[in-house]
């Protein structure tokens, strides 16, 4: 049976929609990750995905799409990437979990200590939140302090109370916990100084992504590191996105600033559940047994070192080295950026639509007539892309996106921006099907 393109007039979504209705009955929010929920996508988006290969994915109804974002930026090489699949298949035949550590754990730990500039010791887990929580716990134990400083311009660090308590979605988190986290601004050294002045001798750690939308300016990362050292504060880099995308060795390699601790995940195993905490021995060994200080309970997880996930991690790192993955991500992202910029110019949408961040990590913005962020216009744009066979909560590319995939996407972007322009000038109500997408962090449904 011929599988349908999403632009096919015969395209249907009935099976996926039925599954979505059932999911809302048994899964809070209808999905196990908020960013994958129905409220994050237009109503013409597929309800459930069935399979993927490379940068293409098929939904439960058999419709085919070119996908961007790729598993929340975790699938950097491509869906079902052959060398990774082969490594996993071979390793899993030997067993996935034992009573004692497996040989492959040590092999990968040694590999990461070679790859990551700031890694004197590493420990594995399954998701990024767990590793960042562990980094915070280590910093508190190392310093004897309670307060956590986070970069307030960045959207997400952890599912734990110390971070979620700072968002609009803070129901169930005690006030005294929320008060333990303070904020500073990215690329604003004065805000960092003011924070330390306001909380002298109280801040255990400063947490941030080394870069996201903006590049660090005027030596910001170096100045932040100096202020942390001067105040006895642990510097923690969240490398969930920058790691394996900015560079195999992460943002700390690109910018030449090595943090005390760093956390890794997402792309490090091409979508398999694997994350890591890395850092200075003096701090990391507090979670071990070869020191005289009070011990820290650090990342003791049943499934943190499953052998098949580690095999995926090793295979992914080898692919990066052998295939020039990071260079390809930048080249393909640059091709897409140029196409977006041409489409914006030809549709006269400068200042109302565009892309930001590095070529390997393109995010798009949707601004209304007053040049303020607009969720309805974002929804119109995504709706039109989906109609043309593109799923794009962002424009983050993978190694599997070919020039032909990107050129097809650019064509769809041009057509979608033509509709976007009409919605901008005539009102989105005339073009939006159903409700607009919503931010994840909101107080009420």
Q: List the chain domain ranges.
A: 4-80+324-430, 97-305
Q: What is the rounded distance in angstroms from the CA atom of residue 434 to the CA atom of residue 380?
A: 10
Task: Identify the burial level of 300 via C-beta atoms within 10 angstroms of its C-beta, where 0-12 means exposed, 13-18 middle and 19 or more buried.
Answer: exposed
Residues pairing with 51 in the sheet: 58
How much is the pLDDT for 435? 95
Residue range 97-305 in CATH 3.40.50.150: no
Could you give the 3-state DSSP secondary structure of residue 110?
helix
Token pair in block for residue 150: 């986070």
Question: What b/e string do you get for 336-371 counting C-beta neighbours within 10 Å, with b at 16 or more?
Answer: bbebbeebbeebebeebbbbebbbbbbbbbbbeeee
The torsion defined by the Cα of 377, 381, 384 and 385, in degrees rounded to 10, comes to: -160
Angle CA 231–156–360, to nearest 5: 100
Q: What number of other Cβ atoms are within 10 A of residue 179's Cβ? A: 11
Residue 95: phi and psi, rounded to 5, are: 105, 150
φ/ψ (deg, to 5) at 40 = -95, 0
> Is 320:110 a contact under the CB 8 Å cutoff?
no
pLDDT value of position 10: 58
Q: Could you give the CA distance from residue 421 to residue 5 in angstroms, rounded to a whole number?
A: 25
Distance of CA 189 to the CA centre of its chain: 25
Report the CATH fold assignment for 4-80+324-430.
3.90.1150
Cβ-contact 68, 95 below 8 angstroms = no
d(CA 9, CA 85) in angstroms, rounded, equals: 35
What is the predicted pLDDT for the residue at 289? 82
Contact 398, 77 (CB under 8 A): yes
CA distance 276 to 442: 29
Supply the pTM of this predicted model: 0.95
C-alpha torsion 192→195→200→204, nearest 10: -70
Measured CA to CA in angstroms, residue 185 lies from 39, 154, 194, 218 at distances of 29, 9, 11, 14
Ranges of the chain whose pLDDT falls below 50: 1-7
- Burial-class residue 174 by CB neighbours within 10 Å (0-12, 13-18, 19+): exposed
Closest to 262 (Cα-Cα) out of 243, 246, 289, 244 = 243
């Amino acid at each position: 049976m011929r599988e349908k393109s999403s632009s096919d007039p015969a395209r249907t979504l009935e099976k996926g929609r039925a599954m979505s209705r059932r999911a809302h009955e048994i899964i809070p929010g209808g999905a196990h990750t908020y960013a994958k929920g129905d409220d994050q996508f237009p109503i013409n988006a597929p309800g459930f995905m069935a399979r993927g290969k490379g940068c293409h994915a098929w939904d439960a109804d058999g419709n085919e799409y070119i996908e961007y974002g790729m598993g929340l930026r975790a699938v950097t090489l491509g869906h079902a990437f052959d060398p990774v699949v082969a490594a996993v298949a071979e390793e899993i035949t030997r067993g996935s979990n034992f009573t004692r550590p497996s040989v492959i754990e040590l092999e990968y730990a040694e590999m990461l200590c070679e790859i990551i500039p700031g890694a004197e010791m590493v420990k594995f887990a399954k998701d990024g939140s767990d590793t960042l929580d562990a980094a915070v716990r280590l910093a508190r134990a190392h310093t004897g302090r309670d307060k956590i400083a986070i970069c307030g311009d960045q959207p997400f660090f952890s599912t734990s109370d110390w971070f979620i308590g700072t968002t609009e979605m803070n129901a169930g988190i005690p006030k005294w916990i929320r008060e333990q986290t303070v904020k500073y601004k990215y690329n604003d050294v004065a805000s960092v100084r003011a924070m330390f002045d306001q909380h002298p001798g109280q801040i255990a750690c400063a947490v941030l992504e080394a870069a996201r939308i903006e590049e660090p300016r005027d030596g910001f990362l170096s100045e932040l590191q100096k202020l942390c050292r001067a105040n006895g504060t642990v510097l923690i880099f969240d490398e969930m996105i920058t790691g394996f995308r900015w560079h195999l060795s992460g943002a700390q390699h690109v910018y030449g600033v090595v943090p005390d601790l760093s956390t890794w995940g997402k792309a490090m195993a091409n979508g398999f559940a694997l994350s890591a905490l890395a850092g200075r021995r003096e701090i990391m060994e507090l979670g071990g047994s070869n020191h005289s200080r009070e011990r820290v309970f650090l990342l003791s997880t049943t499934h943190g070192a499953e052998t098949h996930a580690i095999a995926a991690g090793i295979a992914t790192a080898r692919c990066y080295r052998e295939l020039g993955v990071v260079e390809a991500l930048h080249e393909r992202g640059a091709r897409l950026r140029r196409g977006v910029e041409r489409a914006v110019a030809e549709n006269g949408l400068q200042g109302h639509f565009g892309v930001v961040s590095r070529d390997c990590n393109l995010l798009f913005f949707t601004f209304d007539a007053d040049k303020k962020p607009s969720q309805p216009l974002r929804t119109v744009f995504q709706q039109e892309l989906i109609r043309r066979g593109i799923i794009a909560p962002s424009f983050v590319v993978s190694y599997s996106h070919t020039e032909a995939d990107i050129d097809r996407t650019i064509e769809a972007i041009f057509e979608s921006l033509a509709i976007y322009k009409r919605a901008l000038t005539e009102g989105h109500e005339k073009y939006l099907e159903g409700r607009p997408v919503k931010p994840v962090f909101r107080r009420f449904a």
